[in-house]
Amino acid sequence: MAADRSYALDNIAPVRHIEDVLRLEEVAAAHPGEQGFRGPSHWMPTGRVFGGQILSQALTAASRTVPDGRFVHSLHAYFLRGGDIELPVDFSVETLRDGRSFSQRRVQAYQHGEPILSLITSFQTVDAGLQHEIRPPAGIPGPDELPTTEETLRGAPEAFRRYFTDYRAFKMRHYPSPIYVSVPKEDEDIPFQAVWIKTREALGDDPALHAAALAYASDYTTFEPILRRHGIPWAYPGLNTASLDHAMWFHRQARADEWVLYVQESPTAQGGRGLTEGRMFTQGGDLIATVAQEGLVRLPQFKPENLKKAE
């Protein structure tokens, strides 16, 4: 990406409504016997397509091919190449199996005729069975008790502030603190973080839409537990991150336009890669989904003094 495209916000439409991202048109598929869809790309300051965008669009494409009454319970995806925000993304859906209770689909996302994401996802009819779940950690303040992103970034450079506020489809409230500009010393080495998330706009009642919206949001903050452990904010000079793979298990249906608590931790970072595990809960404490992602984290000759430059 050319350097002068970074934070070029003029004449760029903000992503205020997640449904605009998930509105796919039917097109010819890449291979015979498959079903094809095309989705829009939205602006990102890196010039690369946001991983949550193609993840949620691939899930939406798959959802449109399964029998009624079947809902996603898991997805596993690999990000193969960086996507170009100036191009739409084509999706080709292959039916792997439709059984009595389960349906599996393979989805390939393409730009320039090359795959940029490969995903397998599974759907199930609602079934009765054993039930148990863990609860969220105690002591996390509610969303109304935490500062908004707008309040946190008051006084930050306008382009930086607008990207994290006006140009995102979700509201966010961080605990113990956001790491946009700096990481408070007292919040380093904390083994987890929590983020309250919900869409800026109300959504319809389709469960597939809410599942896709949560898949989109699941990729927003997955690098933050990794960066937080090392005192590195998003504003660190030259920071380069990229999602490598992403897995998500959906335990129950939930609304993405109501507050969801996303609790995350990073058990390890090695070899330029970091792993994050996360769980999503309703505001009442019910477990919605579990997330795991490995990502690439590159720093230009990491030096502690560069943290001062980011502040």
pLDDT at 1: 29
Whether 293 sits among the annotated catalytic residues: the reply is: yes
Higher local confidence (pLDDT), 243 or 303: 243
Cα separation, 33 vs 31, in Å, equals 6
To the nearest 5 percent, what fractions of the chain are helix, strand and coil?
A: 20, 35, 45
pLDDT value, residue 266:
96
| Catalytic hit among 219, 266, 270, 301 | 219
Which 8-state DSSP code applies to residue 3? G
- Residue 91: both structure tokens together: 């999706």
Q: Tens digit of pLDDT for each residue in 69-85?
A: 999 999 999 999 999 99
Instruction: Of 65, 170, 188, 194, give the one whose Cα is nearest residue 119.
Output: 65
Q: 5 pLDDT exceeds 50? A: no
Which pLDDT belongs to residue 310?
Answer: 52
Residue 305 pLDDT class (50, 70, 90 cuts): low
Instruction: Please report, to the nearest 10 degrees, the dihedral formed by the alpha carbons of residues 183, 297, 91, 69 taken in order.
Output: -50
Q: Which amino acid is at 206?
A: D
For residue 286, give both structure tokens: 């019910």
d(Cα 262, Cα 220) in Å, to the nearest integer?
A: 11
H helix or E strand, kind and range, residue 97: strand 89-98
Looking at the chain, list the stretches that DSSP marks H as alpha helix, in order from N- to C-terminal side: 18-21, 51-63, 149-152, 158-164, 207-218, 224-229, 306-310
Q: What is the mean pLDDT of the chain?
A: 91
Residue 193 among the catalytic residues? no
pLDDT (tens digit, 9 = 90+) per residue, 147-179?
999 999 988 888 888 888 888 899 999 999 999
Fold of 3-125+145-310: Porin (2.40.160)
Confidence of residue 304 (pLDDT cuts 50, 70, 90): low
Query: Is 253 part of the annotated catalytic residue set?
Result: no
- The lowest-confidence range among 7-11, 65-69, 143-147 is 7-11
Distance separating alpha carbons of residues 45 and 167, to the nearest angstrom: 10
Q: Where are the domains of the chain?
A: 3-125+145-310
Active-site residue identified among 92, 243, 264, 266: 243
Determine contact, residues 2/46, Cβ cutoff 8 Å: no
Contact (CB, 8 A) for 236 and 307 = yes
At 204 the three-state DSSP class reads: coil
pLDDT digits (tens, 9 = 90+) for 16-63: 689 999 999 999 998 899 999 999 999 888 889 999 999 999 999 999
Q: Is the per-residue pLDDT at 141 higher than 60?
A: yes
Residue 8 has pLDDT above 70, yes or no: no
